[in-house]
Amino acid sequence: MSGTFVGMPAFPEAAREAVRNPTLRGNLRHATHTIRAKRARAVGELADWAELREAGRRIKDHTLRHLDRYLEQLEESVTAAGGTVHWAADAAEANRIVTELVRATGESEVVKVKSMATQEIELNEALAAAGIRAYETDLAELIVQLGKDRPSHILVPAIHRNRGEIRDIFAHEMGEWGRPAPEDLTDTPADLAEAARLHLREKFLRAKVGISGANFMVAETGTLVVVESEGNGRMCLTLPETLISVVGIEKTVPTWRDLEVFLQTLPRSSTAERMNPYTSMWTGTTDEDGPRAFHLVLLDNGRTDTLADTVGRQALRCIRCSACLNVCPVYERAGGHAYGSVYPGPIGAILSPQLRGTGSEIDASLPYASSLCGACYEVCPVAIDIPEVLVHLRERVVEGGPAVRRGNKVLLKPAKGHAAERAAMRAARWAFAHPGALRAGQRLASRTRRLHPRTLPGPGRAWSGARDLPAVPPEPFRDWWQRTRGGKDGDR
């Protein structure tokens, strides 16, 4: 799977392709089940997990409800510590700011630590168009970049690739980008990691500009936090002369103390470790230690529109741990690419249609990419009620209604292709309001059950194309109840 997200088919089509790929399903099943079991153990070590989760939820909610104040405070703290703050309303503006900052250094290449925000705005493509080469330095991101591919998981972006595929990508592509892979490269993970180390080290040691995202920004102190494992983050954050961090405005937390909650919940929820190998925290610039210039680009790009939605705004609490991906039965089978967004899985299904709007076919289909089983809500360390937002967005897609796009109030029209669903819902409303008709209909359905087709005809075809039609029971529940319990109690 490669190519861009633009013009992606809707989720059901993309998922249908993905579930037919046995390698992908095998890789995903192994990976999600392994992380899932480890995470449960790591979380089980903390007796106060419920309290930490609730505190995390409250901290994020409080920040969001006073976000204007905390953003101003953050700007002030970062500036006082020697950094420069820029504001970007959308992807184009953020890309323009970063491109100009890189140009001002006179450099034509940058090293990057994995960042969802810069993927979201497609910064690498924008830099390439300006003649600047961006090197991804996270091992999985390197695999994705060299493979001309797209990430498929928040935390393990190359989760869909097995070691043999990775070996081939390294052997064929590394030479194009710098130091080639060794001649005798095997497919053992240790060998592959060593090849990545040698390939990237020459880039780290000469890099003058680093680009990062951040996991947290502390308004009170102006501190930015990056959580990682390999040390590529530390390389990008400390060796270059100029550091540019592109961060979504929702990554703000009010105080230094708030980190005590998230530094306990994030590693255990994401990599299922007590603590990830490296966490870097920096406040502006420090003389003779790390970059001399620090630029923070605060990114909106649909976040304030999401904030305007009273049900959907809770998605902004997300700390990108990816626990919801690993428990999702739909993600486990369809994989990350089917979501057509840098944010796959359950959180992607609610975040992407809010950040981008539900105008495109893929975004309108994402709220349906779920069985609503609720496992994602159970594991979420900031208690985002993903099923609630999914249902809310489904209603938005089907019924239309008021929303905010680019800061303006708009009235969304119902999405195309949901006419049958609206008709069915209206019919259901009528039937439930007329019990006699409902009962007669149910009995008729039971008696004719052997004649029912396996798929629906006409406008219902789309619905049954992605689902098995439920079998009608031989007897309606209400009749069964009356025949068994009802007769015994004798009250009906």
Residue 390 contacts other proteins per CB under 8 A = no
- Which span (17-25, 27-35, 338-346, 415-423) binds other proteins, by CB under 8 A? 27-35
Judged by beta carbon, residue 11 or residue 135, the one nearer other proteins is: 135
Assigned token pair, 417 = 């292709």
Q: Which residue, among 361, 321, 88, has the nearest Cα to 353 in the 3D structure?
A: 361
What's the maximum distance between 2 C-alpha atoms anywhere in the chain?
Answer: 88
User: Helix or strand or coil: residue 81?
Assistant: coil
The CB-based long-range contact list for 432-440 (8 Å cut-off, 24+ gap) reads: 439/476, 439/478
Residue 234 contacts other proteins per CB under 8 A = yes
CA distance 10 to 16: 10
Provide the minimum distance between the beta carbon of 81 and other proteins in the complex, in angstroms, as a whole number. 7
Provide the minimum distance between the beta carbon of 417 and other proteins in the complex, in angstroms, as a whole number. 30
Judged by beta carbon, residue 116 or residue 372, the one nearer other proteins is: 116
Judged by beta carbon, residue 178 or residue 254, the one nearer other proteins is: 254
Judged by beta carbon, residue 53 or residue 418, the one nearer other proteins is: 53
Residue holding tokens 């590529």? 232
Provide the minimum distance between the beta carbon of 114 and other proteins in the complex, in angstroms, as a whole number. 10
CA distance 327 to 464: 25
Q: Which of 176, 183, 184, 289 binds other proteins (CB under 8 A)?
A: 289
- Distances, alpha carbon 317 to alpha carbons 53, 57, 187, 250, in Å: 12, 7, 39, 7
Q: What counts of helices (H) and strands (E) characterise the chain?
A: 24, 12
Provide the minimum distance between the beta carbon of 395 and other proteins in the complex, in angstroms, as a whole number. 18
CB within 8 A of 129, min separation 6: which ones? none
Which stretches within 178-211 are classed as H helix? 189-206
Q: How many residues bind other proteins (CB under 8 A)?
A: 99
Residue 134 backbone class (left: φ over 0; alpha: ψ -120 to 50; beta: rest): beta
Residue 313 contacts other proteins per CB under 8 A = yes
CA distance 123 to 130: 11
Residue 326 contacts other proteins per CB under 8 A = no
Residues 421-460 that bind other proteins (CB under 8 A): none
Our measurement of the distance from residue 66's CA atom to the centroid of its chain's CA atoms, rounded to an integer in Å, reads 24
Residue 308 contacts other proteins per CB under 8 A = yes
Provide the minimum distance between the beta carbon of 133 and other proteins in the complex, in angstroms, as a whole number. 19
Provide the minimum distance between the beta carbon of 400 and other proteins in the complex, in angstroms, as a whole number. 20
Residue 332 contacts other proteins per CB under 8 A = no
CB 343 within 8 A of CB 322: no
Q: Which of 8, 31, 211, 315 binds other proteins (CB under 8 A)?
A: 31
- Which span (1-9, 84-92, 336-344, 430-438) binds other proteins, by CB under 8 A? 84-92
Task: DSSP for 284-306, please give it.
Answer: S-BTTBS-SEEEEEEE-TTHHHH
Residues 86-145 that bind other proteins (CB under 8 A): 87-89, 93, 137-140, 143
User: Helix or strand or coil: residue 463?
Assistant: helix
- Which span (7-15, 304-312, 337-345, 442-450) binds other proteins, by CB under 8 A? 304-312
Q: Which of 12, 178, 180, 254 binds other proteins (CB under 8 A)?
A: 254
Residues 153-212 that bind other proteins (CB under 8 A): 156-158, 162-163, 166, 189-190, 192-193, 196-197, 200-201, 204-206
Residue 411 contacts other proteins per CB under 8 A = no
Q: Which of 100, 273, 378, 395 binds other proteins (CB under 8 A)?
A: 273
CA distance 297 to 224: 12
Residue 35 contacts other proteins per CB under 8 A = yes
Provide the minimum distance between the beta carbon of 391 and other proteins in the complex, in angstroms, as a whole number. 20
Assigned token pair, 146 = 């060299």
Residue 251 contacts other proteins per CB under 8 A = no
CB 291 within 8 A of CB 282: no
CA distance 86 to 104: 15
DSSP state of 233: H
Q: Which of 1, 19, 46, 456 binds other proteins (CB under 8 A)?
A: 46
Q: Which of 41, 148, 257, 452 binds other proteins (CB under 8 A)?
A: 257
- How crowded is the C-beta side of 366, counted as CA atoms within 13 Å? 31
Residue 353 contacts other proteins per CB under 8 A = no
- Which span (66-74, 371-379, 413-421, 433-441) binds other proteins, by CB under 8 A? 66-74
Residue 349 contacts other proteins per CB under 8 A = no
Q: Which of 22, 310, 433, 453 binds other proteins (CB under 8 A)?
A: 310
